[in-house]
Structures are given as C-alpha cells and as structure tokens.
Amino acid sequence: MKITFYWCDNNNLLYPLCNSNMTNQDGVDPICCLLMDDGGIPYNETLSWIQDGLKEINSVLNGEQLSSSWSREAWEASFTKSLSKIYSLYDESCFEEISTKDLKEILNAWCEFLTSKPLPKEKVFWCNNQEEKS
C-alpha cells in the first residue's frame, strides 16, 4: 500500500488531502476517507481525534483490550491486535482491511503531516512501514 499526503491550495487556503493505491471497485479509498473525515472542522482541530484513535489502537496492541473501534462523522475503524477494518458508517459494504500496525503507522504519519508546515508542492509518501518525502 502506498499513501500520498499533500496540501491543496484553494484560494490561498491550504488544506490536507491524501490518496492511496487501495481504492475499491467503486473507486472509494476507505483509508483516505477515514483520514480526511474532519466533520467539517478545521484540520488542525482534528488532531485530538487522531490522538484518541491512536490511544485506542495502542490499548489493543498492548493487550489492554481485545478489540476496539474509533469513528468520526462518516467513517469508522474497528480493530483487533492483528487486523483493522475501515468502513463507511453509511454503507458497511464499503470497507478496507489492513493490519492494525499499519493503521497505527498511517495515523502517526497523518498526524505528523498535519502538524508540519503546509507546503503546497510537497508530497509525503507512506509505503508499508516506511515513509519517504519528495
């Protein structure tokens, strides 16, 4: 899996976007939908929500819970120690499964990207356990 994080310029207002090579048969990218599901609030106000998701994931990975879930407005991730299912709250047949460790790394990378200085031409890549910038 490869995910690209980047800033989009809309009338001098930068906002974060992402895409990956994991779209489903309908062209939907559940992992990126989950990341960009901001509930209509500014992206910098979503950081605490991402931290909540990371806490839930860590509690499962550390054995404090057998499973957990974390959701926002339209997307949810349910996870066990080994597997995470990311799906639409409006259509549970629209989903993607990835390892929980990968989901944790992706959320950490997204959080780091959101707290970085927005640069309109910069793209950040996350590729199965490694990150590259170009």
Nearest of 98, 16, 94, 115 to residue 57 by alpha carbon: 98
Q: How many H-runs (helices) and E-runs (strands) does the chain carry? A: 3, 8
pTM for the whole structure: 0.89
Q: For residue 57, what is the enclosing H or E element? A: helix 47-61
Confidence of residue 77 (pLDDT cuts 50, 70, 90): very high
Q: Please report the pLDDT score of residue 118 as a whole number.
A: 87
Would you call 125 exposed, middle or buried from its count of C-beta atoms within 10 A (0-12, 13-18, 19+)? Answer: middle
The answer on pLDDT for 105 being more than 70 is yes
Nearest of 9, 14, 26, 3 to residue 117 by alpha carbon: 14
Q: Per-domain residue ranges for the chain?
A: 2-133
